[in-house]
Structure 1
Amino acid sequence: LRQSRHPVIERLMPRESFIPNDVTFAPAERVLLVTGPNMAGKSTILRQIGLCVILAQMGSFVPAEAAEIGVVDRLFTRVGASDNLARGQSTFMVEMAETSAILHNATARSLVLLDEIGRGTSTYDGVAIAWAVSEHLHDTIGCRTMFATHYHELMQLPEELAHARNLNVAVRETGNQVIFLHHLEAGGTDRSYGIHVAQLAGLPAQVVSRAREVLKRLEREHRVVAGTPGPEPDPSQLALFRDAARLHPVVTELKELDLDRMTPIEALNTLAALKRKSIP
């Protein structure tokens, strides 16, 4: 795709303000890993690629200066975050279920567009899942994939995967300000500029300032609280009150009761007897 656009978003923006982007999938570059800050336009690029492919396959106009698009047998997307309260599914569970459907049904002729897999759990778990999913798409399925992520650890994937490449959505820093260029370029980025986005959203100045302090400490020490962590509890040290309660004769007798065979009257009488025994 050369100078591709998102037709809906472009229509909603002032004239000539939408930034078009070039995207190329090739046999040697079939897994594209996209990093960049929030609000830079990663999700928009994913969506416009999907729209261009669908429009091309239905024989419609393609919003691009030029396009050479092969036929895909399926188009899979994992974009956005939502839960399913009616089924008792968290946002992360819904995300994993959708990812599972992709991994079980995609073929080498498919196009897969992924946005932020693994963000609903701990950082290490999320990175591990995102890494394993990327490897499976690259090694086992072999489909064309674009994966937008904030996990900068994934930028190491091209060192192991022959057909993976890093891209980033460009920004420029001017003093304390960040300018979003919304332009896709080669290479990864090691910053997400989340605090800058929080500042743009109107968080109180003292909160933003404190967030910068915490970020610096985390980057330097990987801890927020100063000093070294306290010692872990000694598993060989018995808990005084817990053990005392466990050895109390009333507790022992309660554990031995067969409640399924007791009548209501027997249960009341037993409870009264245990109460008398528990009084010192």
Structure 2
Amino acid sequence: VGYNRVFGYYIEISRANLHLVPSDYIRRQTLANGERYVTEKLKEYEDLVLGAEEKKVALEFEIFEGVRRRVALENQRIRETGKRVGEVDALAALAEAAELKGYTLPEVNEDPVIEIVDGRHPVIEEAVRDEDFVPNDIHLDDQEQQVLIITGPNMAGKSTVLRQAALTVLMAQMGSFVPASHATIGVVDRIFTRIGASDDLTKGQSTFMVEMNETANILRHATPRSLVILDEIGRGTSTYDGLSIAWAVAEALHDREGRGVRTLFATHYHELTELVATKPRVKNFNIAVKEWNDQIIFLRKLVPGGTSRSYGIQVARIAGLPHKVIGRAREILEDLERGEGNEVGTPRMAMDRSGGERKETAQLSLFGAQDQRLRKWIQNLDLSSMTPLEALIEINKMKEYLSRQSS
């Protein structure tokens, strides 16, 4: 006995047994190896089975419609229940994480203070289970330590310190325990970050333009209640341009009306450490490293004070740059540090080794010019209140002035 959608149920008999077919069998189909038959009783059975299938489908649909109507009537209660279950699930997950990973209950208040003792990064410490994660302390307030300038070499852990501070504040304000031995969090209204480097090709914006757009947004909207995280502002342009922008941004955040903005500012511009001389709530910190036999060991510890070295060549060596390139870089660095160069600042070792200088011209430093009038002109510009058009007009005036001076 078989079944298909065309003939329904049938009895298939091989050719060798066709002489045994009863007379009441009705032939439906002839095959190469036999024939298919039906009987009245088989048709009755087929009607019963197919009818039951149709009734089953109809009954299932009727039940489904009933459930749907009931759900529609209780729609609001079901949504609310789902929301509550989701909240309980999230809180249970946070509680389990706090228990397993040794998190602590933070104190959240209205004071303008963020104090994190032995803070850790909740993600990175899980990713480096095979080695001990080095915790760090962070203290921010509106009296003495409002803007922290953090220096240190690449790979030392500056970005990790910045990110873990932001995550700790976020976790505390969402009701979670935090990865620290102690934490006091003065409520923040927003967390602003300028971290990483990327361009936006769809909008025709370079990496530097994206960076400046994000920085401008921070300066427009940050309040004394905000937490600002800045990582390497100004690195996408020339050294002096980048340093000038980074310096001005740090000053603007420190001087913001209403006692400034709590800020963590990681940078390779060691000149920014001089801000402590003019801004009372700026403090310098660095990520400690240890030098050993011309090697550097990253201690991953945030300690007070600035640093004047980036250890870029050592980091490049760790990254695998060829020994020849590393050696050449050391030679040029030594010349630059000794101030040896030609009249436009090209280091002696950067000149062509055949005896002549390379044909490329060095970029002259505007800030190294002796013209005191131009220096004073620039110092008197109020960049924070100027529009881009006004800035371009001033630059054009300077250009005309320099042209007159050189003619």
TM-score when scaled to structure 1?
0.80
How many angstroms does 1:48 deviate by? 0.2
Determine if the alignment matches structure 1 residue 25 to structure 2 residue 143.
Answer: no
1:6 aligns with 2:121: yes
In 1, Cα distance between equivalents of 2:222 and 2:186: 16
- Residue deviations 1:30-79 (CA, integer Å, cap 9, x gap): 00000000000000000000000000000101110110011001100000
**Relative contact order, CA 8 A, sep 6+: which one is greater?**
1
Residue 276 of structure 1: aligned partner: none
Q: Distance in 2 between matches of 1:175 and 1:149?
A: 26
Counterpart of 2:300 in structure 1: which amino acid? H
1:223 corresponds in structure 2 to: 346
Spell out structure 1 runs of 4+ moving beyond 4 A: none
Cα contact 1:217–1:223 (8 A) shared by 2: no
If each structure's strand is expressed as a fraction of its own residues, which one has the higher value? 2
Matches within 5 A, 1:192-207: 192-207=310-325
Q: Which residue of the partner structure matches residue 263 of structure 1?
A: none
Please say if residues 34 and 167 of structure 1, whose CA atoms lie closer than 8 Å, have aligned partners that are also in contact: yes
Q: Establish whether residue 147 from structure 1 lines up as the match of residue 265 from structure 2.
A: yes
User: Residue 165 of structure 1: which of 283, 298, 305 is its match?
Assistant: 283
2:238 is aligned with what amino acid? S
TM-score in terms of structure 2 length: 0.55
How do 1:1-280 residues align onto structure 2 when only pairs under 5 Å count? 1-15=116-130, 17-26=132-141, 27-141=143-257, 142-221=260-339, 222-225=345-348
Residue 225 (structure 1) shift: 3.9
Whole-Å separation in 1 of the counterparts to 2:275 and 2:152: 16
**What displacement does 1:15 show?**
4.3
Query: Which protein has the larger Cα radius of gyration, Structure 1 or Structure 2?
Result: 2
Structure 2 residues not aligned, in runs of 5+: 1-115, 340-344, 352-356, 362-407
8 A contact 1:127–1:151 mirrored in 2: yes
Q: For the residues of structure 2 that align with 1:119 and 1:196, how far apart are their CA atoms?
A: 20
State the distance in 2 between where 1:218 and 1:187 align.
25
What's the secondary structure of 1:112's corresponding residue?
strand
Q: How far is 1:175 from its partner?
A: 1.3
Distance 1:82 1:41 in 2: 20
Q: Deviations over 1:72-130 (max 9, x none)?
A: 01100000000001111000000000000000000011000000000000000000000
Unmatched runs of 5 consecutive residues or more in structure 1: 233-280
> 2-side partners of 1:114 and 1:219: how far apart?
28
Q: Aligned-pair RMSD on alpha carbons?
A: 1.7
Equivalent pair of 1:158/1:165 in contact (CA under 8 Å): yes
Q: CA deviation at 1:181?
A: 0.2
The number of residue pairs the alignment matches comes to: 231
Secondary structure, counterpart of 2:196 in structure 1: coil
Distance 1:87 1:225 in 2: 42
Partner letter of residue 202 of structure 2?
A
SS at match of 1:68: strand
| Structure 2 residue identity aligned to 1:5 | R
One-letter amino acid matched to 1:199: R
Aligned to 2:383: none
Kindly, what percent of the aligned residue pairs are identical? 60
